[in-house]
Amino acid sequence: MAMMTGAQYIESLRKLNTRVYMFGEKIENWVDHPMIRPSINCVAMTYDLAQDPQHEDLMTATSHLTGEKINRFGHIHQSTDDLMKKVKMQRLCGQKTASCFQRCVGMDAFNAEYSTTYEIDKKYGTDYHERFKKFLLYVQENDLVVDGAMTDPKGNRGLAPHAQPDPDMYVRIKEVREDGIVVRGAKVHQTGSINSHWHLVMPTQAMKEADKDYAVSFACPSDAEGLYMIYGRQSCDTRKLEDGADVDLGNKQFGGQEALVVFDDVFIPNEYVFMAGEYDFAGMLVERFSGFHRQSYGGCKVGVGDVVIGAAALAAEYNGVEKASHIKDKLIEMTHLNETLYCCGIACSADGCATECGSYIINMLEANVCKQNVTRFPYEIVRLAEDIAGGLMVTMPGEKDFKSDLVVGKNGETIGDVCNKYFAGNDDVCSTEDRMRVLRFLENICLGSSAVGYRTESMHGAGSPQAQRIMIQRQGNIEGKKALAKEIAGTK
């Protein structure tokens, strides 16, 4: 099957019987729901960019399974060049959507599963790797979106999975059958889960023998019996439900998406089971996925950052202060921080190496340094953007006020007349509405619903800051550095 277009992707979602709930109700037509559709548009962009000859080199790859051209989001990295192109592709997608385009987590899960299943089979004689390759081939041939599902609710985080008062706080194997397993539990913070054709589930942490029922990895359709999702709220999300609020939306076309995914005794056939009790490999799968996903943030967040910087520069121009030296300096600092993130993403890719099965993995230390910077720099970029934009970004009246014909002035001025008069900026370069649109866009991306795809997700996506610091400590080779110092200093 040929690669899909964005329109074909959207139509493919209509064929699914995915169960979606929001505000305490079941959403029957979730594909066209105004709060959900912007996130679907983001995913559709990853399909349309792959159809554009201008972006073919970044957006597509040659499948090592078939030799056919595929969307890079379904590719297993075969070289450091592949790893670098991944980061460049993610930056491009971020530039085109200014939001989370949701396919990175599945791509990173593919690459973590590919090498980990190979090593499980080597130790235990299982056939997980062949099962996974068949599943991946199906994904590539049908150009599917797969949600990589790792994060469990965790309950009391001071207790191991098996010690939780409620055993469902981590996804677990509830029953083993001859033809498959029955799983129960939930995954939280699931990026793009509703917009995905399939889910690829992984354990969320390293485990010991007592937790072997929780050491499970599998794939299942998003509309599998017993699987349902509860849509996550975002700041300012109900603006999308308002009439006459086009300008107030900021980024009206694109947006992120997170959901709670519940597995209510879901049956998984053996062909889609890739780990079932091999607890000693749970940590490997988690670390490899986390490494790939932390690399991803050196691309996607940089692309969104490019748009934030551009919007801040526009706001300065519309406010008439673009020539001020302190404005120029702030834009320089924003660019410096953004490019530093990109450098980390490229560096951990260029320093990657082959795994035993032939696929390529990033430099784990540098990938964690990349994500550690992402937990900090976007916050400073946003702070500077808000500084440049000014307070009107969060105190401005709504679009209906700017268009209101209600007379309030002594000379017959309407509310719209008053708003357009007093909120005008640099009339030489913009209309009042254009100024309002840029400020609303910055509000949306810095504070509102797009924060899930930029600011807040920069902190918590791909693991908390402490998770990266733990990996940096493990990979930092302090003893090796001490030996270097001893040799040069001449100590015994």
Structure tokens at 213: 């029922």
- Count the alpha carbons within 13 Å of 18 in the hemisphere toward its beta carbon: 27
Cα dihedral: 466, 472, 474, 479 (round 10)? -130
Which residue among 191, 287, 375, 454 is the active-site one? 191
Determine whether 117 is an active site residue: no
Question: Is residue 319 within 8 Å of 423, Cβ to Cβ?
Answer: no
Verify whether residue 370 is a known catalytic residue: no
Bridge partners, residue 259, by sequence: 231
Q: Return the exposure string of 252-286: e unless at least 16 CB atoms fall within 10 Å of the residue's CB, then b.
A: bebbbbbbbbbbeebebeebbbbbbbbbbbbbbbb
Of these residues, 287, 366, 399, 457, which one is catalytic? 457
Q: For residues 155 and 168, give the distance between their C-alpha atoms in angstroms, rounded to a whole number.
A: 9
Catalytic residue among 18, 60, 97, 104: 104
Contact (CB, 8 A) for 222 and 195 = no
Active site residue 430: no
The CA-to-CA distance between both ends of the chain, in Å, stands at 66
Candidates 113, 258, 317, 366; catalytic one: 258
297 tagged catalytic: yes
Active site residue 339: no
- Active-site residue 93, yes or no? no
Catalytic residue among 42, 93, 220, 300: 300
For CA atoms 103, 105, 109, 111, the dihedral sign is positive
The catalytic position among 279, 293, 344, 430 is 293
Buried b (16+ CB within 10 A) or exposed e, 82-106: bbbbbbbbbbbbbbbbbbbbbbbbb
Q: How many CB atoms lie within 10 A of CB 402?
A: 20
Could you identify the residue written with the tokens 């709220």?
233
412 half-sphere exposure, CB direction, 13 A CA radius: 0
Q: Which amino acid is at 264?
A: D
- Distance, in Å, from the CA atom of 353 to the CA atom of 83, rounded to the nearest integer, reads 10
Active-site residue flag, 258: yes
- Catalytic one among 42, 46, 47, 100? 100
Q: Which of 228, 272, 279, 297 is catalytic?
A: 297
Catalytic residue list contains 300: yes
Q: β-strand 259-269 against 180-187: which pairing, if any? A: antiparallel
Q: Give the catalytic positions in this structure.
A: 100, 104, 191, 258, 293, 297, 300, 457
